[in-house]
Amino acid sequence: MPLTEDIISSRYQITGYQADAVIINEKEYRSSLILSADTLTCPWSVESVNDLNNENLQPLFEFNADVVLLGTGQIQQFPSAQIMGLFGQQGTGLEVMDNGALCRTFNILVAEDRAVVAAILLNGGSPYL
């Protein structure tokens, strides 16, 4: 589904998504990634909520974001209480959603100049096509 947002002036914006990919600045990515308004890290070594741990979440906490959006694929899947607790310990909000909802929400929050980071779980092969 293509997305358009006229008021986003950030370096990165999500311009579309598919069941197994996210499109950022018109480039398609099929591996998990971390995205902020100005930073893109791909690939990110996490493919499912079961892979989340303190070590691979550290890059998210380094942003000092108000909220992290965790996209868990086509279906919303919550991480363990221990993982969710790590966000509370860091003072960072966590919103868990499917990737489609994440893509729409990310663009809105970036347009509002919110300090937001998206962690998008995809279990493809190549980081981009």
Closest by CA to 105, choosing from 63, 64, 76, is 76
pLDDT in tens, 60-80: 999 999 999 999 999 999 999
Residue 121 and residue 74 in contact, taking contact as beta carbons nearer than 8 Å: no
Examine residue 128 and state whether it is found in any structural domain, yes or no: no
Examine residue 100 and state whether it is found in any structural domain, yes or no: yes
Q: Which residue has the tokens 């300090």?
A: 115
Report the CATH number that the domain containing residue 43 is assigned in CATH. 3.40.1230.10
CA separation (Å) from 51 to 103, 109, 119?
A: 21, 26, 13
Examine residue 4 and state whether it is found in any structural domain, yes or no: no
Considering its fold, how many domains does the chain have in total?
1
Examine residue 108 and state whether it is found in any structural domain, yes or no: yes
Q: Residue 65 and residue 92: Cα distance in Å, rounded? A: 7
Examine residue 59 and state whether it is found in any structural domain, yes or no: yes
- Residue 58's domain comprises 14-123
Examine residue 118 and state whether it is found in any structural domain, yes or no: yes
Examine residue 75 and state whether it is found in any structural domain, yes or no: yes
Examine residue 2 and state whether it is found in any structural domain, yes or no: no
SS (H, E, C) 79-102: CCHHHHHHHHHHCCEEEEECHHHH
pTM: 0.88
pLDDT in tens, 75-103: 999 999 999 999 999 999 999 999 999 99
